[in-house]
Amino acid sequence: MVVVRDANGEYCSGCVLKSKGKYTYVLTQSSFASGREDTLKICFFDQIEREASAFASGDTFCLLRTKRHTDCRPIKKMRGQVMPEPMVVFAPSSATSAYHIPGFVISESTAALDLRRNHINGSECYFLGTCHYAEKGFNGHCRLVGSPVFSLKGKVMGLIAGTCVNELILYLGGYEIKVALLTSHMDGMLNAMLPMSDAAMKKIASR
């Protein structure tokens, strides 16, 4: 997990997707990066900071590129199906630090049907988990979007994509429901973000 910040000290979550050759690639939220493309910096776990530039962007996530940081470790995706089980998320506590928050996967899939009982396309790509974190940035964005969701074995089950069902906060003792993109659907998301004509870029998505 890394912290992405701008020149004014506003920040959000991110994670290392690949670090090879000249560059390190970091995934973060597109709503935060939009309009800040020339002022972004990435703070790694060892407090090393690197200036970053936007490399590709989608509706929810954005791919940043920075000079390679040799000591960082890309996320390792979990293989197999996500089940109701404990999870851990690392949340940013400042523009340069983060801390871990325990949670629990409460639904292994958000697959759903509409009122005519037709499958809602893409709903099967996400799962739900509880997480005691509700901080938002100055523009209302959830700082946790882009943060990896870890299993207790240290493998990444998914990426936080947003928050839902705020009405349930009172009934859950302050816990919010987080929506997370399953790692099994990350490649499709990244392929949609990256230019179709550049085969070299596609290698990023296959890691």
pTM of the predicted model, to two decimals?
Answer: 0.85
Determine the 3-state secondary structure of 130 from DSSP: strand
pLDDT in tens, 109-161: 887 655 676 766 778 899 999 988 888 887 788 899 999 999 999 999 999 99
DSSP category for residue 34:
T
* Cα distances (Å, whole numbers) of residue 108 to 84, 86, 104, 174: 6, 12, 11, 21
Spatial neighbors of 31 by CB under 8 A, at least 6 apart, are 60, 139, 141, 145
Residues in a beta bridge with 15:
27
Flag whether pLDDT at 98 surpasses 80.
yes
Q: What is the mean pLDDT of the chain?
A: 85
